[in-house]
Structure 1
Amino acid sequence: MLKWLIAAVIVIPLLEFYGFVTVGEHIGAGKTILLTFVTSIIGMAMMKFEGRKVLQDAKLQMNSGQIPGRTLLDGLCIFAGGILLMIPGFFTDIVGFTLIFPLTRPLYRYFLLRWIEKKMKNGSITFYRK
């Protein structure tokens, strides 16, 4: 886990710097900075809207006696996407938007469910009932 964190801390800023330089060469520095702010604002608005929808769905499911498992995973994806959209950069914005956008979110949810299932099978994650 520590190896992945160190790799991310090194690779992501380099990737984002490359993105800024490439976009800046094509459209100019001022427009690049403006584009970064605009994507962050749009992303925050999407996160707020989608987050409210997920909270409403979770409340409805709990009120009807269902466990909102997939809905909570959607909420986790929206939260992670919002964090990525707050980080300045184009590559993190792309991943952040795909995490928030309802049509692409199921792809992330599928891999997240597989990861949780794998962790439960090998005993890394356990659940206790009261």
Structure 2
Amino acid sequence: MGKLLLGLVGLALLEMVVLIKVGSVIGALPTVALVILTALVGSSLVRSQGLRTLMEAQHKMQLGELPGREVMSGMMLALAGLLLIIPGFVTDIVAVLLLQPALRNRLADKLMGSGHFTVRGGPFDGPTGQRPSDGHTIEGEYERKD
């Protein structure tokens, strides 16, 4: 807990220093306008990337696969949205990096270990999240009631 508090205080101090430096170069009003603009543009990007990630997760689930990477990606997008709300340029830079799909996917794979979830004993099994092909098929009928 102490390291987290120290990190947050350090981040706040760094943001203040950067804001003061940028403000001394371009002026106070343009600096404030730039911070507001990055928050607005960033929130729009987070929304569009989030919808895209949600659609990819739904597609994987329809194929019978676990959407592990998409879940991690969604969490990183939520973090990017939070960072964009915080006024400052350092957090905005980190948020913009998290908005890059290629970087986000690589980071998600790294955070998940091997890049795949392994679930034992559930409807999905195996290192790729595929349905087991051992002949155990449950058949049935369903009716959609909307």
Separation of aligned partners in 1, 2:15 and 2:4? 16
Is 1:4 aligned to 2:29, yes or no? no
**Structure with max Cα Rg:** 2
Report the counterpart of residue 69 of structure 1 in structure 2.
68
Report the counterpart of residue 123 of structure 1 in structure 2.
none
Separation of aligned partners in 1, 2:29 and 2:41? 18
Q: Which runs of 5+ in 2 are unaligned?
A: 114-118, 123-146
Deviation at residue 107 of structure 1 after TM alignment: 4.1
Report the counterpart of residue 57 of structure 2 in structure 1.
58
Richer in helix (by share) = 1
Report the counterpart of residue 31 of structure 2 in structure 1.
32
TM-score, length basis structure 1? 0.83
Alignment partner of 1:38: what SS?
helix
Aligned residues: 119
Separation of aligned partners in 1, 2:81 and 2:27? 26
Structure 1 residue ranges (4+ consecutive) displaced by more than 3 angstroms after TM superposition:
127-130
CA RMSD of aligned residues (A): 2.1
Deviation at residue 111 of structure 1 after TM alignment: 4.1
Report the counterpart of residue 117 of structure 1 in structure 2.
none
Separation of aligned partners in 2, 1:19 and 1:104? 25
Report the counterpart of residue 17 of structure 1 in structure 2.
16
TM-score, length basis structure 2? 0.74
Deviation at residue 8 of structure 1 after TM alignment: 1.8
User: Which one is further off, 99-108 or 26-35?
Assistant: 99-108
Separation of aligned partners in 1, 2:94 and 2:111? 15
Separation of aligned partners in 2, 1:13 and 1:128? 43
